[in-house]
Amino acid sequence: GAGRDALLSEASCFSRDDFEWGIYQCSKAMKLETDIAALQIQTGIADSTSFCLVFDSLLKCIQLNVQRTCSPKAADFTSSVYGHTIKALAKHIGCAFNFRQ
C-alpha cells in the first residue's frame, strides 16, 4: 500500500543524519513536555489528559521535521506509524483527537 511505497521511495531520506537529528530534537522536546505534564499531575493541577498535548506536540514536530527533510509523503507515512503506535494509550487516557491511520 501507500505506506510500503513511502518506505521504499524515501528509504535513503530516513537514513540521513539530518533526518535523525530532527527526530532526536523532537524526542528531547517530548521528554521535557512529559516531565512538565507529570509534575502537573503529581501536584494535582492537571490530570492524565495533560499527556494529550505532549502526544500532539510530538506528532507536529515529527511531521514538520520529516516534511522538511524528506517529503510530504514521508511525513504522512511517519505520522501514520506514530498514530498507530500511540493510539491505544492516547485513547486510554482520554485524548479527544484522532491520529492518522
Residue 9 pLDDT: 79
The pTM of this model reads 0.80
Residue-wise pLDDT tens digits, 63-96:
999 999 988 988 888 888 888 888 888 888 888 7
| Residue extents of the structural domains in the chain | 2-93
Tell me how far apart the alpha carbons of residues 44 and 71 are, in angstroms, rounded to a whole number.
Answer: 41
pLDDT of residue 33: 94
Tens of pLDDT, residue by residue over 10-58, are 778 878 888 889 889 999 999 999 999 999 999 999 898 889 999 999 9
